[in-house]
Structure 1
């Protein structure tokens, strides 16, 4: 099976070198029995790679059981993993298999492994070493054959140093490590990912075909994507759902994604306000109006500075007076040309925010 065939079969989208290298490693380790540790921020596709490794392994005919260690309360995680006998605790009204038994012969995917309590880590390590365990309340040992794939968005070495994760378990899990890059580090894949999500959206919702234009793709590639691929999928689907046109331009995405510039980094942090809902709404409205005023002031300053020489030799004649919008339009065109089409660089040259630039581009039909 080629890399392309592997990607198509298991839904791994991307043509960047980073993704192709990860696919190549995944294909190599899939046929072995070694544990795999997958690193990556939330939303980068850790579970997709886990599914691919299992699906290409010799255990593919057996189940892949996924467990989110951070979503199960500490008090019942051990019971969920190893099962229990009837009467082991108050609510244990019948015998119950745990995830290890359910995954017997297959693969157990432990997502958010860093959230696992230290007491459970000890028992997990023993199972990994012996492939056997005891259900809660049981007196006999249960043997299983399970391959482990673990994933985390935390640095486990840091967790080990902070005594929040066992070092021996860490070394047992990291036989092979995959580091999935965040979307902002593989922007070459944004276009193919977005088009794929858009195609799936139209198929599921039985809508017409949507097309994302060049400026919109430029905007998407300039965005930081803290939520990674999952966020991109949601943004594309939301833009399609709200659009009245089959062409998704930059304006279709501007209201969905927010660029946080350094000076505004902490402006939108949630805090408790001793205000009524009406007062908060009024304040938000005032802030929006202030932003609009700020944009106008920026453009006026820009026009004044760019045309200051016109007035340096006395009063201009009526023929020399150029409408304000024409000056702004010309300045924006010159900045985009000077920045070779890079909107962020053009915004910096104009000393305005990128959001203002996109709004003006749409307003002037550039």
Structure 2
């Protein structure tokens, strides 16, 4: 089955590279018997990928159970997973099968595996390595033929360092890993998902689908989406029920977002751990934040120069000398290294320090040049934004923003 067909069948909406890669890996690993570990924040849809793996495996005609191990009390988790014998504890009035017995021959999806107690981890490791287990309160070894798919929203390596997760279990689970990106890193998928959910809930509540006001679109990309796709889905359903009319204005959108101050850019200092709670750790975090911001600004400037250079060369009015070799990368010990660029871009030879008025004049000149290039590209392609953006080497969303900023008439 192709990636696109799989996405349609399981309702996986989006075209970003990371989502397509995750689907491709799921399809590749499905026919095998290896364990799979799925990484992703809450609300990214990890359970959907577990179903893709099971449904395309040799076990697809058997049961599949999805268990949130973090939602089961630690004292009863062993009994739930592996079963128990009568009298093994106070409320054990009869023998009981665990989930691994219930799904014999099938698959089990263990979500929030990072929340599993270390005692239960030892039982799970034995099952994965030897294919057998013991019920709680029993000495009789039982066999289990079950494929394990696990998922986590935590950094298991950090948990290993803290002594909260077994290293041997990590390596046993992490045979193949799949990473589901957070919604804030999925680019244009955000608008695509909004439109999709708007249609779904318009049909459910018998009304016209909602449409984002053009001024509300930037807010969708600036927001961090801590609840990811689940949060966006709930937001669209809420707006479908409450909003009068079809247009979602910036005010309506902002007032209904879950966390009012959760906006990008999200370059935050590392949170101090048990071994670094002093002011030095905080200072290092701030320094890292500033270096990351400088790095991102450097990349944006290089992208802009690349676009101006490439289009300028087509018109024959840009020199070909003075090209930089890469982006500035902040070093841990101070200073910068250089990350090579795939395509050299234009950069003027180093000039002496200039007055602020000169810099402002140069900046305005660059904006004027960029506006001219965008206008020419739009005229060339009959105001077709998609084709114009492709020729300019920028995304359609970026082109739209620049058209608005420069007040270009279409």
- What TM-score does the superposition give when structure 2 sets the normalisation length? 0.63
What's the offset of the Cα at 1:236? 1.3
Q: Distance in 2 between matches of 1:202 and 1:70?
A: 34
Q: Distance in 2 between matches of 1:204 and 1:94?
A: 45
Equivalent in the alignment of 1:275 = none
Question: 1:107·1:148 contact (CA, 8 Å) conserved in 2?
Answer: yes
Equivalent in the alignment of 2:190 = 190
3-state secondary structure, aligned to 2:178? strand
3-state secondary structure, aligned to 2:188? helix
Question: 2:222·2:263 contact (CA, 8 Å) conserved in 1?
Answer: no
Q: Which has the higher contact order (CA 8 A, sep 6+)?
A: 1
**Pairing 1:135-154 to 2, within 5 Å after superposition:** 135-154=135-154
**Pairing 1:1-366 to 2, within 5 Å after superposition:** 1-257=1-257, 258-260=260-262, 342=401
What's the offset of the Cα at 1:219? 2.0
Q: Deviations over 1:287-309 (max 9, x none)?
A: xxxxxxxxxxxxxxxxxxxxxxx
Question: 1:86·1:93 contact (CA, 8 Å) conserved in 2?
Answer: yes
What's the offset of the Cα at 1:341? 6.3
Q: Deviations over 1:319-361 (max 9, x none)?
A: xxxxxxxxxxxxxxxxxx9x98659x98xxxxxxxxxxxxxxx
Q: Distance in 1 between matches of 2:212 and 2:59?
A: 40
Rate the CA distance shift 1:115–1:243 in 2: closer, same or farther, 3 A: same
What's the offset of the Cα at 1:141? 2.2
Q: Distance in 1 between matches of 2:399 and 2:128?
A: 56
What's the offset of the Cα at 1:124? 0.6
Q: Distance in 2 between matches of 1:340 and 1:259?
A: 27
What's the offset of the Cα at 1:207? 2.9
What's the offset of the Cα at 1:131? 1.4
Larger mean Cα displacement after TM superposition, 131-140 or 26-35:
131-140
Question: 1:240·1:248 contact (CA, 8 Å) conserved in 2?
Answer: no
Q: Distance in 1 between matches of 2:155 and 2:89?
A: 35
Q: Distance in 2 between matches of 1:260 and 1:156?
A: 26
Q: Distance in 1 between matches of 2:400 and 2:15?
A: 24
Q: Deviations over 1:18-59 (max 9, x none)?
A: 111111111100111100001111111111111111111111
- 5+ unaligned residues in a row in structure 2: which ranges? 269-370, 372-397, 406-410
- Higher helix content, 1 or 2: 1
What's the offset of the Cα at 1:70? 0.9
Q: Deviations over 1:201-256 (max 9, x none)?
A: 12322333333333333321221111111111111111221100022232331211
What's the offset of the Cα at 1:261? 6.3
3-state secondary structure, aligned to 1:214? coil
- What TM-score does the superposition give when structure 1 sets the normalisation length? 0.70
What's the offset of the Cα at 1:168? 0.4
3-state secondary structure, aligned to 2:67? strand
Q: Distance in 2 between matches of 1:195 and 1:58?
A: 36
What's the offset of the Cα at 1:60? 1.2
Q: Distance in 1 between matches of 2:145 and 2:263?
A: 51
Q: Deviations over 1:123-154 (max 9, x none)?
A: 11001111111212234222121011111111
What's the offset of the Cα at 1:178? 0.9
Q: Distance in 2 between matches of 1:189 and 1:163?
A: 38
Q: Distance in 2 between matches of 1:40 and 1:9?
A: 21
